[in-house]
Amino acid sequence: MKALIIGAAGFVGPYLAEAVRNNLKCETVVTKRPGTRTDIPGVQIRDLDIMDEGAILPLLQDEHPYYIFHLAAQSSVSRSWKDPGLTVNVNVKGTLNLLDAVRQLEYKPKVLMAGSGEEYGYIDPDEIPIKEEQFLRPGNIYAATKAGQNMMASVYAQAYNMQLVMTRSFNHMGPGQSPVFVVSDFCRQAVRIEKGLQDPVIRVGNLSSKRDFTDVRDVVNAYTALIQFGVPGETYNVGTGKAIEIRSLLDKIIELSSAKIDVEVDKAKLRPVDVPVIEPDMTKMYKATGWTPAIPLEQTIKDMLDHYRCHDELLND
Ligand code: A2R
């Protein structure tokens, strides 16, 4: 049996490759965008641009994967404001290309589509915790494209009897995450301060937003569980079920850093629109798979700080 991870060269892909090896125990093929490099041990690496409509079906026919994980995306909210066209092309048209290729196969692989908790968008306090059937009110272009991905997959699963399971994954964090994302950004700044590379001030955006942060190593275990036990056509929240104020995360990072650090609001880091609280109800996921997150927040932050401490090349301006 074989697993294929599409869009594996990003943050989640290498962790997922390891989880597939450990949990699904099958041969793994991963794809990266042509012209880019990635170094994931123990897997076969192939090129695939999901915008290249004609390239997906031959690759699937060639590899014949039983499990397919769709991670490929323009995944940054802030970039989606700056480049909405690219975000729509990759996340909507690219996903449609993949769905059409899978539909044309002579067999029915199990496919996991990685979506986002951002899809829920504007949430009233009485809608917390958010259930999967919650009405979607996306608050940014990235969220809108991921909602589109989810709806297309849901239509294809029903219309063509495809084995598609969709996630709405809430914020992930872990060693190796791009500093475009908030926890990684703060950890990087803290280590730069420890090493005397910036003045002792962490520059922050909106600290009062509450988000649900899950260690990426827990997230990928959720994905391997869901692709096995999720019901086709269904959507599952993936998160801890407990939102935390960004300010508390920052406090924890400062507490775990060896430097003395002040905090300053940087207007450039404030998003045009922000959603105050996003917190999932995890009942459906738990009932389907029995998955719960296992890594404590403090451990994740320690590992992220250590990752920056050991990789000076990630600290340069
Ligand atoms: O930008 P690159 O070269 O690293 O490639 C990214 C890849 N990707 C594509 N792959 C194939 N064809 C494309 N046209 C294309 N455009 C982008 O998707 C990258 O390797 C991968 C996404 O990785 P990250 O941006 O690091 O996202 P992450 O955190 O791994 O999240 C995985 C999935 C995404 O669908 C998120 O929206 C979702 O989980 O939450």
* pLDDT at residue 139, as a whole number: 87
* pLDDT at residue 271, as a whole number: 64
Q: Which residue matches tokens 């009942």?
A: 283
* pLDDT at residue 77, as a whole number: 87
Residue nearest to atom 12 of ligand 1 (CA): 49
Residues 128 and 196 in one domain: no
Output the CA 195–ligand 1 centroid distance in Å.
31
Residues 35 and 155 in one domain: yes
* pLDDT at residue 205, as a whole number: 83
Output the CA 245–ligand 1 centroid distance in Å.
26
Ligand 1 contact, 72 CB (< 6 A): yes
Domain carrying residue 305: 174-211+242-279+295-315
Residues 199 and 222 in one domain: no
Residue 166 inside a domain? The answer is yes
pTM for this predicted structure: 0.95
Output the CA 50–ligand 1 centroid distance in Å.
10
Ligand 1 contact, 12 CB (< 6 A): yes
- pLDDT tens per residue, range 67-122: 999 999 999 888 999 999 999 999 999 999 999 999 999 999 999 999 999 999 88
φ, ψ at 234 (rounded to 5°)? -100, 155
The parts of the chain modelled with pLDDT lower than 50 are none
Residue 289 inside a domain? The answer is no
Pairing state between β 2-6 and 210-211: unpaired
Q: What is the CATH number of the domain that holds 248?
A: 3.90.25.10
Give the sign of the dihedral formed by CA 63, CA 64, CA 69, CA 73. positive
Residues 304 and 262 in one domain: yes
To test the pocket of ligand 1, the residue of 4, 15, 30, 33 to mutate (highest count of ligand atoms within 8 Å of its CB) is 33
SS3 79: helix
Residues 74 and 218 in one domain: yes
- Per-residue burial over 301-311, b = 16 or more CB atoms within 10 Å of its CB, e = otherwise: bbbbbebbbee
Q: Domain tally for the chain? A: 2
**Containing H/E element for 190?**
helix 182-194
Residue 17 inside a domain? The answer is yes
Q: What is the CATH number of the domain that holds 104?
A: 3.40.50.720
